[in-house]
Amino acid sequence: MMGKAYLVGSGPGGLGLMTIRAREVIDSADVVLYDQLPGEEILATLPESAERIDCGKYGGSHTLEQHEIEALMVERVKAGKTVVRLKGGDPFLFGRGGEEIETLREHGISVEVVPGVTSAIAVPEMVGIPVTHRRYASQVTFITGHEDPTKPESALDWEVLARLKGTLVILMGVKNLPAIAAALTAHGKDPATPVAIIERGLRPDQRVTVGTLADIAEKARAAGVRPPAVIVIGGVVELYVGGEGQATP
């Protein structure tokens, strides 16, 4: 008998911001494929009876490649298992959930997607930065800071992004932050535009580093900023009052 697959968003971190449906599905799983983004608090509650498969990426090293993750999901579901692919934030916002659902459907596998609270909004707001504000930003744009390296060219139009008057929120952008800041300023964005980097959002060691497009890359380097982190660019960063580099409780 064929099993079932679930693509589950665990939210931005911590059990309190995970949905009830996500909890139900995780607790019913025979197999959980997870990465490090859900955080230790959530990972500690994975059912002991389930097969737990680490799919994380650590320092650029992939425990499993994407095609291997998808093959494991297909194999376990066809063996009759209830399979949960557990992701941080929401599965469909730069979480490769779209690729996974395509593969599962190609194999005739039933899939349920469980939405999660996205870190792109929740992490900034938990340190007092709204991604929209009537005085600062009437639009928000989410972009990835790490595109598929096999693409012949970037899908990001930096000229357009530099002209936008709203907020830019970048996920997976720590490594490429110097290039991102340089591209935006080269295409006309004001070097004095405020920037905030929120590392390890909603975790006990959460930290915020603020600066401008002109100096944020150097400040991040000096502070030893590391992923996972959410980068916010725009006037809304002025609403952050925690202080530069301060760890926020």
Catalytic residue status for 172: yes
Residue 139 is encoded by which pair of tokens? 């639009």
Catalytic residue status for 35: yes
Q: Which of 4, 18, 30, 35 is catalytic?
A: 35
3-state secondary structure the chain: CCCEEEEEECECCCHHHCCHHHHHHHHCCCEEEECCCCCHHHHCCCCCCCEEEECCEECCEECCCHHHHHHHHHHHHHCCCEEEEEECECCCCCCCHHHHHHHHHHCCCCEEEECCCCHHHHHHHHCCCCCCECCCECCEEEEECCCCCCCCCCCCCHHHHHHCCCEEEEECCCCCHHHHHHHHHHCCCCCCCEEEEEECCCCCCCEEEEEECCCHHHHHHHHCCCCCEEEEECHHHHHCCCCCCCCCC
Q: Which of 18, 172, 189, 219 is catalytic?
A: 172
Catalytic residue status for 2: no
Sign of CA dihedral 21, 27, 33, 38: positive
- So which residues are the catalytic ones? 35, 57, 172
